[in-house]
Structure 1
Amino acid sequence: MPRAKKVAGTAADPRNGQRALTVVGGGKVERLPAPRGLSKPAKAAWEAFWDDRPAALMTPAATVVLLRWVDALDRYLRTTAEADKNPLVTGSQNQEVMNPLYRIAEQALSTVTTCEKQLGIGGLNASQLGLAAITEARSLQDMNARYSDDDDSEDEEEEPDPRLHVIEGDAI
């Protein structure tokens, strides 16, 4: 017999005993100003972060990770754009080699990925931190209205559910 599941919100991590963290309402958090000198795409990513649910987890200590993330993202975007202008360069033996800027971009992307895991950026990273993707609260009446077949046609007789024949014993 399977083990009974714990009531929602009471489950604890077996490694450290802490309860799972769930952000339900997504309360507003004070936005930090974007660092100076960011490229437009990096600045857009900074602004998008503050509109997303991981921003609700921001603490003063996590600010360092956030700044590292946006700096590495900016470096990745800039070096990739520059390397894409000239993807092959002449090497020391006069052979064509990959632009070394791609290696710098790859290292920056590695930092971006590590920071995204810590901050909960992206669906999988957010779920691994226990962030709930709850967009709005709905009442039971709203849910019933959304999923009911309310045609306002009470004159029509409903067809019986064919599964009831099996339950009632007169299978077709």
Structure 2
Amino acid sequence: MKITQLPSLVREALYLVFCLLFVWVCAPFEICLPFSPVPIVLQSNAIIFCAVLLGSRLATLNAALFVALGILGFPIWASGASGWSIFIGPTGGYLFGYIIGSLATGLIAEYRKPPTLARDFIAMLLGLVVIYAFGFAWLTQFVEPSAAFIKGVLPFIPGDCIKLVFFVLLLKRLPLGRFKAKENV
């Protein structure tokens, strides 16, 4: 039986589980910067990648579940971190930004069909900008705005652009196409 033959609710649940697992598997890949409370992580890009695959509704749910599971104590954030204290700490804005960034990325990815790699790149880039914006805004509660930009945004731009290119190329190679929930509409 092909996955496309499953009832839509079952198929969507499988897509969510797959994406949650994918983001969780990406969580250990981090580089701690000695001058910043914010590590370089792969999970931000994984969240945005899943948003292109899932579309806005499921992507937002995926990110919200990811954040909620972390708050509840499941060790699924970078370095296996979890808990309310992490969520309200210096990196909490980025975690909250995952939800809004996923929504924005999913909306852009759904905008027109068929999907194009250029639009997917732009969608993922804008999703990361949203994550940066929430992360930066929250980080300013802990350090001055100029320091928040230097510690929480600037060092991540080059690496995130490289990771985005990788994820866009991965999209091109996916045999499954898009998971979007709107495929039944």
TM-score, structure 1 normalization? 0.28
The structure with more radius of gyration? 1
Higher helix content, 1 or 2: 2
Greater relative contact order (CA < 8 Å, ≥ 6 in sequence): 2
